[in-house]
Amino acid sequence: MAETMRATADMLLQAAETRRERVRRRIGILALAYLLVLVLTFLMIAPFTHAAISSFKDNPTEWPPKLLPSTWHPENYLEAWTLSKTNTGVPLFPLWVRNTLLVAAVKTASVVLFSAMAGYAFARLNFPLKNFLFYLTLFVMMVPSQVTFISNYILLSRMRLVNTYIGLALVELVTPAGVFLMTQFLKSLPKELEEAAVIDGASRLQTFTRIIIPLSKPALGALTILNFQGFWNAFFWPTVLLRHQELFTLPLGLDRFNRIYGNVAGRADLILAGSIMSALPIIIIFLVFQRYFIEGVSLSGLKG
């Protein structure tokens, strides 16, 4: 009896030791994972943090470099905002912000609307050549815009839309990536919700606007952030289409700003201040809608 009790106690001790070993191993793995995440996070935010701090310096290119400025110069932002002006004395930086916001908002709204409708059609409706058109959409995703920009530019030129907001806004009103994302997301929604709405007498349009759209907020939020960020930072098409500096978007304006005050005058503080101001709207939008962005990206690939 005593030997049986000792054997049982030894087995319990061994099991407890095994559990403790597993717990220690799990804690070690989690500690390494968190350390890796911290290192990667630091590597990602360090350049932006350095640029933000250096924008308050009098001379960001000084050597040896200093982590913090000896004297903070918040007036760099006001100077960058008002320094570059038109022939009539109007500051250009506010015009560039307005132009970028206008074009990005119009194009993002168009992409979200048409992607939602096309995604709903591919996910729920049956029509001729449905699979062919969907695969064609996937094929277009693999074609870079530089391949078609000559033909698009000739078309816009014949329509006399070069150097205009309308011509810039007409490019990429619909994106195949947006259609694909919405299609994949809508396929993951249960069809029973729509069937219940149809039984209650809802039309196809009412089902789309009252059932599908509210349930698609995560995907629509992700689509909005991705496209607004892309259109806000777009450089290629504005460079091709725009000529007058009053019509420039922020990327073109910052490039002109850099050539005038960076390469010639050596005012790196103004360049950094302008860059930080151009990045702030995207950061604010992502912080506000990050929940929808994460949910939309994670759920869009649930069902093929």
- In this prediction, residue 192 carries a pLDDT of 84
Residue 8: pLDDT band by 50, 70, 90 thresholds? low
Q: What's residue 301's pLDDT?
A: 46
d(CA 245, CA 84): 10
User: What residue ranges do the domains of the chain occupy?
Assistant: 1-54, 75-299
CA distance 298 to 285: 19
pLDDT at 73: 86
Structure tokens at 37: 């995440």
| Distance in angstroms between the alpha carbons of the first and the last residue of the chain | 62
Chain mean position to CA 114: 18
Q: What pLDDT, on a 0 to 100 scale, did the predictor assign at position 198?
A: 81
Token pair recorded at residue 38: 């911290």
Separation between Cα atoms, residue 69 and residue 268, nearest integer Å: 14
| Confidence band of 292 (pLDDT split at 50, 70, 90) | low
258-264: average pLDDT: 72
Question: Region 267-290: what's the mean pLDDT?
Answer: 83
Mean pLDDT of 68-97: 84
pLDDT confidence of residue 297: 55
Average pLDDT, the chain: 83
More confident residue, 146 or 4: 146
Q: In CATH, what class is 75-299?
A: mainly alpha
